[in-house]
Amino acid sequence: MLNRPAYRLNPQDVGQKKGIGINVLFNNNTNVFNQTFTTKEQVKSNLINYILTDKGERFFNPQFGGNLRASLFEPDTTFDSVAARLETEIIAFIPNIIIRDIIIKKQSDLNLINLVLEYSINNQNDNLVINVSTTNLSR
Amino acid sequence: MANVPDIKYFDKDFNTLKQDLINYARTYFQNNYMDFSPSAPGNMFIEMAAYIGDILSFYTDTQLQETLLLYAQERKNIIALAYALGYRPKITSVSTVNLDVYQLLPSDGAPNYAPDFRYTLRLGKNSSVKSISKPNITFITQDLVNFRFSSSFDPTTITIYQYYTGTTNPQYYLLKKQVEAISGQIKTTTFNFGNPEQFPTVVINDSNIIQVLSVTDSENNQYYEVPYLAQDTIFDETLNISMNEPNYYNDNDNACFLLRLKKVDRRFVTRFNDDNNLLLEFGSGVTSSPDEVIIPNPDNVGIGLVDGISKLNMAYDPSNFQYTNEYGVAPSNTTLTVTYLVGGGAEANLPSDDIGLGSVVNITVDNFNLNNSILTIVENSLRFNNPEPSSGGGPGETTEQIRLQALANFPTQNRNVTKADYLVRALSMPAKFGYISKAYVSQNYLVANDTDKQNFITNNPLALSICVLSTDINGKITTTSNTIKQNLKTYLSYHKMASDAIIIKDAYYANIKINFDISVLPAYNSQEVLTKAITEIQNYFNIDKWQINQPIIYSNIYNLIGAVKGVQSVINVDITNLAGGNYSPYSYDIKGATKQGVIYPSLDPMIFEVRFPDTDIYGKVVTY
C-alpha cells in the first residue's frame, strides 16, 4: 500500500470562501488591497512583511522585523548568524510554519543581500526569495 | 433592533485602541479579515489607526489640561491664564531700599537765624541714584521728596550743619528725608504707527522689564496704563497746594497729595509673553469724539435699521459699539515714545552706605525770588545714602509661582466684599494721601423717627460704616482730616462693589490713665520690679496693638502685672479718664462703662489710648 501524503487543512481554508488578510502587494488596479483567501497566501505575506521590516520600525513592538537592511554592511560573509537569528525570530512570530532552509548571499559589489527562505505550511512546501539593497527591498 | 455598532468611547491609549479595533474587526468583518497576528500586514493598518487615536487622545487631554490653571504646564498658557484671572506675573524681582536724602538749607539770617524754607527742594519721582561699588546698578526713587513737607509718616529732620564763623548762629541747616527706591534703569524706545488699526500691539524686546513709566505720542499726548482696556479711569495724584485745591490745601501737612480719578481715552494694557518681552496693546477707537456721545443710547442703537414693529425683537450686535473710544484710542500716524524700567536681580542687593553716586535728579523749587548763588549751593548739596542694605532683588517668578499666585489672587479680585476687605483696604491707602491708623467697619444703622412708635435703631442693609482715626506727627491718635477722608473715599471707590454704599465717619478716642498698687516679694528690688511692671503695661497699651471697639479687661492687667517676676500680689488697678488739653476732647464715663471687670467702649465706635505712656501709667509699691 502506497503511503499517501498527509495533508493538513486549516479550518479557515475550507467551507465558504473567506478573506484571511491582505497581501503586501498594494498594487491592485481596482482595489487598494489584495485580499488573501488561503493560509498559505497569508503566511507568505506575513513573512515578507516581517523580513522587510526593520527593528524599531513598528510602534510599540521594537523587536519586530528581520532587520536585514542593518546587515548589509556586516563583515560576516557567510551570514550564518543572521540566518540563525532569522530562523529563531520567524518561528517566534509565525509559529505555524516549518523552516527548512535559509540561504543568505551577499553581493558586495552591488551592496545587495539575496535571501532564499524555504519553508512549509500545512505540509505544503513553499519558498520566498527577497533581495535587500541599500536603496530598495524587493522580492 | 437596529444594528448599532458597539463603539468604545473610553479608550485612550494605543494598546486599548488597538485591541478594540481588533475586536471590532472580529465582530463586524469576520468574513473579510481574520489574521490578527503581529506579522500580518493588516495589523500595520490597525496599529496606525490606534496610533492616530492615541495622538488625538493626547492632544485632547493636553488641550483640556492647558485650559485649567491648576494643571497647565506650558509657561505661555500659565501666564495667559494668570492674566485672565487678574494676576500680573513678575518676571524680575527688584531690590528695594530706603534712601536718606539730604540737602543744605540756609538760615534766614538775623535776628532769628531760623531755617529758610523757601530754599527747600522737591525731587521728582523716578530720580535715579547709582551704586558706588557697582556703578552700572541704579536705583529709582518711588515718590516725590518734598523737603518742605513733614509729618509722622514722612518726617523731615533738621539739624544745624554749619555756624557763621566765630558765632553760634546757624548759617546752614541739614535737612534729611527718606524715600523708597527700587533697583532699575530707565530706558526708552519708539514705535511708529501708520494707518488706524484696531487694537494695535507693539512688543518691547528687552529683558527684566519691570514696568512702563510713560508713553507719549508725537503730539505729546500721554497714554496711560490700565489693568483692562475696558477700564477708562486711573488714579491721579496731585499736589495738595492751594493752586490745585483751594478747599483742602490747609490739610497738606497730613495729606500732601490729593487722590482723584481721571478718565483717560488714551490708554493701553501690558502683558508679558512667554519669552518675557512686554507687549503693549492699545484700544480700537479711531474717532476723536468723546466717549459720552458714542456709548449706546436709544438714539443711536439700531441706526440704519428700518423702524417698525419688526424692530421690536431685532438682535443688535453689541460689538457695534466696540469700535469707539470705549476701549481707548488707537494711536495712528504718530510715533510713540515708550519709557520703561528694567532691572532687578540678586546683583542689585547692595550693602549699606553704597548708593549715592552721580544722581540724575529732577529738582524743582518754588519761585520765591531766591538768591541764585545760595540756590546753587543748596542744589549742589543734595546727597543720597542707604543706611540699610538693599534687599529683595532676585529672579522673577517661576512658572509654578505664577500659578500659585494667580490662584491666590483670584478669590479677592482686588475687590472689597467683606468687612475685613474694607478694613484692610482702608489701612493700606498710601501714606502720601494721608495716614489711616485705625479703621473699624460695621453695618450702618439708621435711627428712624416714627410718630406712632418710639424711636428705634435698625440695621441699614444698604450701607457700611467705616469709622477712621489718624495719628499726628507724634504718633498720637487724632481725628482724621477732611482731606484724608476725601482721599479715602476716592481710594475705596475704586475697589467697592457698585451696589455698596460706604459712610466714612470719625471714630472717637478716649484717653485713660492707669494707677496700680503692687506688693513685692522680700528678696526683690522694689524699684526694679515696679519698672518692669510699668513696662509690661506700656507694651500692653501700645496703640499699635489696639483696635477700635476693643474693651479693656481688668483681669488681663492683673494677670500681666502679677506675672512680672518679683510681684507678690497686685493690690489694685484703677483706670480713669483723661480729657481736654493735650488729651482727647471726648470724655468718657469709665465707671459707668465698667461691667463685671470689663470696661466696654461706647456704642459709637471708639478706641482707648494711653496717650503719654511715660506719665499716664503710674504704679506704686505698697509695703506693710
Helix (H), strand (E), coil (C) string for B350-375: CCCCCEEEEEECCEECCCCCCCHHHH
Asked if B325 and B281 count as a contact pair (C-beta separation under 8 A), the reply is no
Residues B33, A19: C-beta atoms closer than 8 Å = yes
**Once rounded to an integer, what is the mean pLDDT over residues B291-313?**
47
- Give the global pTM: 0.60
Instruction: Name the grid cell of B350.
Output: 547692595
**Beta-bridge mates of residue B456:** B448
**Once rounded to an integer, what is the mean pLDDT over residues B135-139?**
88
Instruction: Name the grid cell of B478.
Output: 487724632
Distance CA(B42)–CA(B330), nearest Å, equals 60
Q: Which of B298-302, B311-315, B339-343 has the lowest mean pLDDT?
A: B298-302
Q: Report the gap between the CA of B495 and the closest CA in chain A (Å).
A: 58
- Name the residue with higher pLDDT: A74 or B489: B489
Instruction: Name the grid cell of B96.
Output: 528695594
User: Which amino acid makes up residue B297?
Assistant: N
A132 in any annotated domain = yes
Is residue B241 predicted with pLDDT exceeding 80? no
Residues B33, A20: C-beta atoms closer than 8 Å = yes
Q: What CATH number does residue A74 fall under? A: 3.10.450.40
pLDDT for the residue numbered B324? 46
Is residue B561 predicted with pLDDT exceeding 60? yes
Residue A37 forms contact with B (CB below 8 Å):
no
Residues A21, B40: C-beta atoms closer than 8 Å = yes
**Residue A55 structural domain:** 20-138
Question: Considering just the CA atoms, what is the radius of gyration of chain A in Å?
Answer: 17
**Once rounded to an integer, what is the mean pLDDT over residues B505-534?**
93
Q: Which residue of chain B comes nearest to A91, CA vs CA? A: B39
pLDDT for the residue numbered A76? 66
pLDDT for the residue numbered B553? 94
Q: Which of B35-39, B289-293, B567-571 has the lowest mean pLDDT?
A: B289-293
Write the residue in A21, A35, A64 that is nearest to B38 by C-beta: A64
CA-based max dimension of chain B: 122
Residue A61 forms contact with B (CB below 8 Å):
yes
Residue A58 forms contact with B (CB below 8 Å):
yes
Q: Residue B54: which region, alpha, beta or left (left: phi > 0; alpha: psi -120 to 50)?
A: alpha
Q: Which residues of A touch B42 (CB under 8 A)?
A: 21-22
Helix (H), strand (E), coil (C) string for B171-220: EEEEEEEEEEEEECEEEEEEEEECCCCCCCEEEECCCCEEEEEEEECCCC
**Once rounded to an integer, what is the mean pLDDT over residues B482-495?**
82
- How sure is the predictor about B296, in pLDDT bands with cuts at 50, 70 and 90? very low
**Once rounded to an integer, what is the mean pLDDT over residues B390-396?**
77
A11 in any annotated domain = no
pLDDT for the residue numbered B303? 45
Cα A43-A45-A51 angle, rounded to 5 deg: 100
- Percent helix, percent strand, percent coil in chain A, to nearest 5: 25, 25, 45
Q: Which residue of chain B comes nearest to A57, CA vs CA? A: B44
Q: Name the H helices within chain A.
A: 39-51, 80-93
Q: Which of B26, B39, B47 is the mutation pick for testing A, counting most A CBs within 10 A?
A: B39
Residues B51, A47: C-beta atoms closer than 8 Å = no
Residue A119 forms contact with B (CB below 8 Å):
no
Asked if B57 and B9 count as a contact pair (C-beta separation under 8 A), the reply is no
A47 in any annotated domain = yes
Distance CA(B297)–CA(B303), nearest Å, equals 11
**Once rounded to an integer, what is the mean pLDDT over residues B142-169?**
86
Q: Which residues of B touch A31 (CB under 8 A)?
A: none
Residue B558's closest CA among B570, B545, B542? Answer: B570
Contacts of B516 (CB under 8 A, 6+ apart): B533, B537, B557, B561, B570, B571, B572, B573, B574, B618, B619, B620
Residue A40 CB-half CA count within 13 A:
14
**Once rounded to an integer, what is the mean pLDDT over residues B149-157?**
79
Q: Which residue of chain A comes nearest to B51, CA vs CA? A: A59
Find the distance separating the first CA and the last CA of chain A, reported in whole Å: 42
Find the distance separating the first CA and the last CA of chain B, reported in whole Å: 108
Distance CA(B621)–CA(B524), nearest Å, equals 12
A78 in any annotated domain = yes
Kindly report, residue by residue over B54-82, the tens digit of the pLDDT. Answer: 999 999 999 999 999 999 999 999 999 99
**Once rounded to an integer, what is the mean pLDDT over residues B124-133?**
87
Q: Report the gap between the CA of A22 and the closest CA in chain B (Å).
A: 6
Q: Report the gap between the CA of B47 and the closest CA in chain A (Å).
A: 8
pLDDT for the residue numbered B431? 67
- How sure is the predictor about B291, in pLDDT bands with cuts at 50, 70 and 90? very low
Is residue B601 predicted with pLDDT exceeding 60? yes
Kindly report, residue by residue over B17-56, the tens digit of the pLDDT. Answer: 999 999 999 998 888 898 999 889 999 889 999 999 999 9
A39 in any annotated domain = yes
Residue B191's closest CA among B351, B395, B337, B401? Answer: B337
A34 in any annotated domain = yes
Q: Using the Cα atoms of residue B72, residue B73, residue B74 and residue B80 in order, give the sign of their dihedral.
A: positive
Write the residue in B37, B38, B41 that is nearest to A22 by C-beta: B41
Residues A93, B38: C-beta atoms closer than 8 Å = yes
Question: For the stretch B244-275, what's the b/e string if a residue is b when 16 or more beta carbons lie within 10 angstroms of its beta carbon?
Answer: ebeebbebbebbbbbbbeeebbbbbbbbbeee
List Cα–Cα distances, B420 to B184, B439, B503, in angstroms: 35, 10, 16
Q: Which residues of B touch A24 (CB under 8 A)?
A: 41
**Tens-level pLDDT at each residue, chain A (139 residues):** 567 767 777 776 776 678 899 888 776 677 778 888 888 889 999 999 999 898 998 888 889 999 888 877 777 667 888 899 999 999 999 988 999 999 988 877 777 888 899 999 878 888 888 887 766 555 5
Chain B residues bordering chain A (beta-carbon distance below 8 Å): 14-15, 30-35, 37-42, 44, 47-48, 51
Q: Which residues of A touch B48 (CB under 8 A)?
A: 59
User: Which amino acid makes up residue B576?
Assistant: T
List Cα–Cα distances, B139 to B187, B209, B357, in angstroms: 13, 14, 10
Is residue B484 predicted with pLDDT exceeding 60? yes
Q: Report the gap between the CA of A58 and the closest CA in chain B (Å).
A: 8
Q: Report the gap between the CA of A29 and the closest CA in chain B (Å).
A: 19
Residues A59, B42: C-beta atoms closer than 8 Å = no
pLDDT for the residue numbered A134? 64
Residues A42, B32: C-beta atoms closer than 8 Å = no
pLDDT for the residue numbered A125? 84
Q: Which residues of B touch A60 (CB under 8 A)?
A: 14-15, 47
Q: Which of A10, A12, A22, A96 is the mutation pick for testing B, counting most B CBs within 10 A?
A: A22
Write the residue in A20, A22, A50 that is nearest to B39 by C-beta: A50
Residue A125 CB-half CA count within 13 A:
5
Residue A10 forms contact with B (CB below 8 Å):
no
A15 in any annotated domain = no
Q: Which residues of B touch A46 (CB under 8 A)?
A: 35, 37, 39-41
Is residue B223 predicted with pLDDT exceeding 50? yes
pLDDT for the residue numbered B322? 40
A5 in any annotated domain = no
**Once rounded to an integer, what is the mean pLDDT over residues B179-193?**
90
Is residue B255 predicted with pLDDT exceeding 80? no
Q: Report the gap between the CA of A73 and the closest CA in chain B (Å).
A: 26
Residues A49, B39: C-beta atoms closer than 8 Å = yes
Q: How many domains does chain A have?
A: 1
Q: Name the H helices within B381-451.
A: 399-409, 419-427
Q: Which residues of B touch A95 (CB under 8 A)?
A: none
pLDDT for the residue numbered B226? 87
- How sure is the predictor about B305, in pLDDT bands with cuts at 50, 70 and 90? very low
Distance CA(A100)–CA(A119), nearest Å, equals 5
Q: Using the Cα atoms of residue B33, residue B37, residue B39 and residue B44 in order, give the sign of their dihedral.
A: positive
Residues B34, A58: C-beta atoms closer than 8 Å = no
pLDDT for the residue numbered B513? 94
Question: Considering just the CA atoms, what is the radius of gyration of chain B in Å?
Answer: 34
Q: How many of the other CB atoms lie within 10 Å of CB of B144?
A: 21
Is residue B515 predicted with pLDDT exceeding 90? yes
Average pLDDT, rounded, for chain B: 83
pLDDT for the residue numbered B61? 93
